[in-house]
């Protein structure tokens, strides 16, 4: 988990752990946020912009808050599919004003300070859940095979919200779907929970998708390289914030 946080904050324009970072973090916690960490991008480095009157665009700073749990995110009322691009989150102005006040007090210029700063919100639980899903894919494959001895599973791929279990043989597919799917679906959350040594991922709802390897002209011609490419294609379609329960 620490490595993940370092990766997400290494390019932040407010250095993780710095005096300025700690001051901003304390202010956000005082505002009632269950904050895990945050990252900040100045206007100069930002890839986000707002459209002004006359269709002009201006780059804007970005503050991304990582709350601890998905339940914290749901309490914000932000639509997980649209985010806070429209500034409709009730605490947007409070957070922005508090951030700007601290930045101004530290003598920072308008690359940092802006009335148009985007405030985005994600969760540490979401990140942990996605990482655990990737790490446990092989265990899920072994679980399916243990529940249905003799079946051949070509691959198990994670899309951020559930697993795709791929098989070539139609009989194996039907057998797993009929006799194994329910048991595996119940067992996988326990598997993820046991792997979650940080105790962050509380999400228990996920999908278990079964499919035949039928995306190619001849199943017998499908090689491991093609399966890996198929897995990467699935990964690129990952869902947004996991819903939890």
Distance CA 190, CA 65 (A): 28
Measured in whole angstroms, the distance separating CA 82 from the mean position of its chain's CA atoms is: 14
| Fold adopted by 136-235 | GMP Synthetase; Chain A, domain 3 (3.30.300)
Find where tokens 């997400």 sit: 8
Distance CA 119, CA 127 (A): 18
Distance CA 195, CA 191 (A): 6
Q: Do β-strands 57-59 and 62-67 pair in parallel, antiparallel, or remain unpaired?
A: unpaired
Distance CA 203, CA 72 (A): 13
Q: Give me 134's structure tokens.
A: 């990737």
- Separation in Å, CA 51 to CA 58, 60, 147, 242: 7, 10, 55, 30
Q: pLDDT of 87-106, one tens digit each?
A: 999 999 999 999 999 999 99
Q: Does residue 214 carry a pLDDT above 90?
A: no
Look at residues 158, 124, 140 and name the one whose alpha carbon lies nearest to residue 194.
Answer: 140
pLDDT over 90 percentage in the chain: 58
Q: Give me 22's structure tokens.
A: 């700690």
Distance CA 64, CA 44 (A): 16
Distance CA 109, CA 72 (A): 32
Q: What secondary structure letter does DSSP report for 209? A: E
Across-strand partners of 58? 50
Across 74-78, 147-151, 211-215, 221-225, least confident range: 221-225
Q: Does residue 136 carry a pLDDT above 60?
A: yes
Look at residues 122, 123, 140, 124 and name the one whose alpha carbon lies nearest to residue 195.
Answer: 140
Mean pLDDT value across residues 54-63: 92
Q: pLDDT of 226-245, one tens digit each?
A: 444 444 444 333 333 323 33
Distance CA 124, CA 128 (A): 6
Across 126-130, 145-149, 164-168, 213-217, least confident range: 213-217
Mean pLDDT value across residues 125-142: 91
pLDDT band at residue 211 using 50, 70 and 90 as cut-offs: confident
Mean pLDDT value across residues 118-146: 93
Q: To the nearest whole number, what is the mean pLDDT of the chain? A: 85
The end-to-end CA distance of the chain, in Å, is: 22
pTM: 0.77
pLDDT band at residue 213 using 50, 70 and 90 as cut-offs: confident
**Residue spans per domain, the chain:** 2-123, 136-235
């Amino acid at each position: 988990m620490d490595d993940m946080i370092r990766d997400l904050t290494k390019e932040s324009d407010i250095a993780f752990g710095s005096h300025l970072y700690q001051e901003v973090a304390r202010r956000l916690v005082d505002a009632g946020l269950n904050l895990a960490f945050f990252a900040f991008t100045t206007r100069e480095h930002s890839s986000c912009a707002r459209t002004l009157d006359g269709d002009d665009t201006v780059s804007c700073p970005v503050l991304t808050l990582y709350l601890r749990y998905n339940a914290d995110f749901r309490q914000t009322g932000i639509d997980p599919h649209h985010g806070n691009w429209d500034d409709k989150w009730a605490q947007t102005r409070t957070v922005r004003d508090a951030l700007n006040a601290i930045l101004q007090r530290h003598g920072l210029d308008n690359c940092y300070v802006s009335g148009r700063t985007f405030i985005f919100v994600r969760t540490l639980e979401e990140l942990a859940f996605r990482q655990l899903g990737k790490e446990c894919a092989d265990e899920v494959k072994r679980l399916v095979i243990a529940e249905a001895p003799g079946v051949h599973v070509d691959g198990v791929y994670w899309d951020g919200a559930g697993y795709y279990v791929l098989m070539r043989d139609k009989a194996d597919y039907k057998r797993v779907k009929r006799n194994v799917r329910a048991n595996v679906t119940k067992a996988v959350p326990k598997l993820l929970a046991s792997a979650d040594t940080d105790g962050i991922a509380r999400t228990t709802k996920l999908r278990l998708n079964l499919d035949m390897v039928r995306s190619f002209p001849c199943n017998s011609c499908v090689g491991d390289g093609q399966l890996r490419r198929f897995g990467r294609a699935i990964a690129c379609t990952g869902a947004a914030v996991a819903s939890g329960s």
